[in-house]
């Protein structure tokens, strides 16, 4: 139960949360820095509550009723800070160049460790975990906390981050499974040294600056998962998988051509049959935001053959704020005709399993509280 409440405020928790880097820290006041403003939002309508389901109109018969029983996305746990971007772009330069440097530096650090060339899922998992860090806007404080944690706290912190992602988006967390495997393996402590080196490298090269802004518009400047995966894979592995991610400039051009001068009708579906880590979706979401449209008003469906790339796309869907109407399938688009239907069944099952588990824990906690109160009553503590 502790793992499912690790992000609750310590003042509200019945049991103090563990002192890992994923627990909510006491943060100092951040220093703001000027940056390029995001597009001015349209004043058309008032913002909707976070727990209100978003109606979706399917684009074709294949997706009719796709989200008719969809459970609304839980509110993200992050510090609400209505301020502009906190990290001056000059600190990292161009976000896209910084993303490439980050991926190359992580790959170099990993290959130089004792695990170099082996188990590239581990450094990819570390970059994904840092990108998913649920508290946004306090880059310097969070960097200090992570840098000073113990080996146990480091590994436990990554577990907690992915548990938090599962609580809010179990459908995407299921797709992230290849990134979680190493954290539950026997002897994971032996990998702590290499994991710490990769963590320090990712922090030094600006992972939190690229993905730690409260505004998803500012978190969507680059695809850190793509740069990390392609930098870690050998040329032969990329050839074998046919994995060549579309350059971001090309994605931007294609997105602009696709959308045109008017934002698409709400509920329209965007489908990527070989989407990699979702670079086209990133460009399209940014284009929609430039047109004062909300990416969460659309349906995003991505297929990808490589499980690690599909896991990266699931991380990106959260980081980029694509919204609750996102489906990511993993399989061969050409050979598996029921790929999308299978992904939809997995999605529904993930939400049902999440609800059942959380409901079970809520009942257990209620029973425990009742027993505690009864014990106090028996001992006569009510009189005091």
Residue carrying structure tokens 């090309």: 250
Considering only 8-22, 156-170, 247-261, which range has the smallest mean pLDDT? 8-22
Rounded to an integer, what distance in angstroms lies between the CA atom of residue 278 and that of residue 223?
8
Average pLDDT over residues 246-255: 85
Assess whether pLDDT exceeds 90 at residue 258: no
Q: What is the pLDDT of residue 8?
A: 38
Phi, psi angle pair for 115, to nearest 5°: -100, 10
3-state secondary structure of 84: coil
Token pair of 136 as six digits: 């946004």
How far is residue 275's CA from residue 302's CA, in Å, rounded to a whole number? 6
CB contact burial 314-323 (16+ within 10 A = b; e otherwise): bbbbbbbbbb
Task: Check residues 327 and 26 and name the one with the higher pLDDT.
Answer: 327
| Range in 19-33, 168-182, 209-223 the model is least confident about | 19-33
pLDDT over 80 (residue 244):
no
Q: Is the pLDDT of residue 115 over 80?
A: no
215 near 40, Cβ under 8 Å? no
Q: Quick one: which of 143, 40, 27, 44 has its CA closest to 84?
A: 40
161-200 residue pLDDT tens: 999 999 999 999 999 999 999 998 998 988 999 999 999 9
Residue 72 pLDDT level (bands cut at 50, 70, 90): very low
- What was the pLDDT predicted at 67? 45
- Tell me what pLDDT residue 234 has: 63
Query: Which has more confidence, 115 or 341?
Result: 341
What does the H/E/C string look like for 16-59? CCCCCCCCCCCCCCCCCCCCCCCCCCCCCCCCCCCCCCCCCCCC
For the cut 70, the answer to whether the pLDDT of residue 106 exceeds it is: yes
103 pLDDT above the threshold of 70: yes
Question: Rounded mean pLDDT of the chain?
Answer: 77
> What would you report as the CA-atom Rg of the chain, rounded to the nearest whole angstrom?
21
């Amino acid at each position: 139960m502790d793992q499912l409440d690790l992000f609750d405020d310590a003042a509200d928790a019945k049991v103090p949360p563990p002192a890992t880097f994923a627990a909510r820290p006491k943060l100092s006041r951040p220093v703001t820095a000027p940056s390029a403003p995001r597009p001015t939002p349209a004043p058309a309508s008032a913002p909707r509550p976070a727990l209100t389901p978003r109606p979706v109109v399917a684009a074709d018969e294949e997706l009719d009723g796709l989200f008719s029983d969809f459970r609304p996305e839980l509110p993200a746990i992050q510090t609400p800070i209505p301020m502009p971007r906190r990290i001056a772009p000059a600190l990292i330069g161009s976000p896209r160049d910084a993303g490439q440097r980050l991926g190359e530096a992580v790959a170099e650090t990993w290959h130089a460790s004792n695990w170099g060339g082996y188990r590239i899922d581990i450094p990819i998992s570390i970059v994904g975990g840092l990108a998913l860090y649920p508290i946004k806007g306090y880059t310097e404080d969070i960097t200090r906390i992570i840098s000073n944690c113990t080996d146990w706290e480091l590994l436990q912190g990554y577990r907690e981050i992915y548990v938090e992602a599962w609580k809010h988006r179990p459908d995407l967390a299921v797709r992230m499974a290849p990134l979680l495997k190493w954290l539950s393996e026997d002897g994971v402590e032996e990998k702590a040294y290499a994991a710490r080196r990769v963590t320090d490298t990712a922090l030094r090269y600006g992972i939190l600056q690229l993905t730690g802004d409260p505004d998803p518009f500012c978190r969507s400047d680059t695809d850190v998962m793509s740069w990390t995966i392609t930098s870690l894979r050998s040329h032969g592995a990329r050839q074998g998988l046919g994995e060549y991610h579309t350059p971001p400039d090309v994605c931007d051009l294609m997105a602009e051509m696709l959308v045109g001068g008017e934002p698409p009708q709400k509920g329209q579906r965007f489908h990527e049959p070989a989407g990699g880590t979702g670079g086209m979706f990133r460009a399209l979401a940014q284009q929609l935001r430039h047109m004062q449209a909300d990416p969460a008003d659309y349906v995003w469906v991505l297929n990808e053959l490589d499980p690690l790339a599909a896991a990266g796309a699931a991380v990106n869907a959260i980081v980029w704020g694509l919204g609750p109407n996102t489906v990511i399938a993993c399989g061969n688009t050409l050979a598996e005709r029921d790929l999308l239907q299978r992904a939809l069944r997995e999605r529904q099952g993930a939400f049902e399993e999440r609800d059942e588990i959380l409901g079970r824990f809520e009942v257990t906690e209620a029973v425990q509280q009742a027993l505690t109160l009864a014990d106090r009553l028996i001992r006569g503590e009510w009189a005091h």
